[in-house]
Homo-oligomer: A and B are copies of this chain.
């Protein structure tokens, strides 16, 4: 007999009460013990992963997915290292973010507390099992994990290591709970548990995110697509802009913080476009231009409406020529996904206009979009990049898995002193 989804989640919630009360030292020791256990059980985890890989190959799954699924000694060491790194980060729980005395005489503090229980829905990467569990535990939460079917044996082996470390530390192992029933019905049930789960984080392709967003009753923070733009202004340093385009597009095209569209100010289009298109083409990038771009670079393919809305996730880039920063802003407002937007400009007032007008989670001036990452932005680690404009926006670290609440300490203050039992 297996537990129902609801029973599993309830057990996780019960365990989360214990996790919320763990000290910083206990949590960090636990995370390090998890890393040790993963290394000790490396053979078991890699054997499970080999089975997942064989089954995936048999199903004819594509090379990109196979790469996301694959583990080896090096990747496993990386997962263990990531756990130890999370242990080394500051503990957000208990942080007093504000403290003042009320004019009535009591003290008011805002204090960070864990969210409670976090549901994670993800796809093929088995490292997410350990990464997400680590950040959730660091922030004092329980976590209910629903990974991809392809990775079920790998995820189960990794979760077993994490739970061994929990048991050895005397913590209820249900704090990290991996769902074994990977049916769509079970996922639907999970998404309805708004009396148990405090937050649902879906990470994966557009289809998965949309499905969760349309069906969940638990609050959702989306990690949606990144249709990121680089706008090269008339006042840009064109050498810098060239580097930003190359770094943004070619260093990891499958990442959500890669650029998908290059917008070029008409005044420098004649000077910049031949250079940038040559440099990108040399690096294997397929280039699509709008009509104005193709007047300057007639060899480019034609970029249509749909190309400007697409997250290519590959060595493909759409290019448009725009009249000025306002036209660039209008284009981004139409096609952007609120992820990361970059302007290359030495004109501070133009740069500020761009920063203020756009509502993306991360807006950059003269910096590569590829820095839109929790580690690079000083969060230490990330559970994902939120494109939901609520609670957390942009890269989310451990702090984003907590909430501030109010704690008051007084000496019998009442709101209506005239109501006191001894009042006249």
Contact = CB atoms under 8 A, between A and B. Distances in A.
Given A415-B251, A420-B246, A366 B410 contact: yes
Contact of A246 (B108, B247, B363, B421): B421
Given A100-B378, A361-B405, A407-B355, A367 B106 contact: yes
Contacts of A409: 351, 364-367
Interface residues of A, number: 77
Contacts of A243: 412, 414, 419-421
A368 B414 contact: yes
Given A214-B217, A247-B419, A360 B405 contact: yes
Interface string A350-383: 0100011101111111111011100011100000
Contacts of A334: none
Interface in A377-415: 377-378, 388-391, 393-395, 403-415
A242 interface: yes
A188 to B, nearest CB: 14
A422 interface: yes
B415 A364 contact: no
A391 B390 contact: yes
Contacts of A406: 361-363, 372, 377, 394-395
Contact of A390 (B199, B250, B359, B362): B199
Residue among A108, A364, A378, A412 with max Cβ neighbours from chain B (10 Å) = A412
Interface of A: 17, 20-21, 100, 102, 104, 106, 108, 113, 115-116, 194, 198-199, 213-214, 217, 219-220, 237, 239-240, 242-244, 246-247, 250-251, 279, 333, 344, 351, 355-357, 359-368, 370-372, 376-378, 388-391, 393-395, 403-416, 419-422
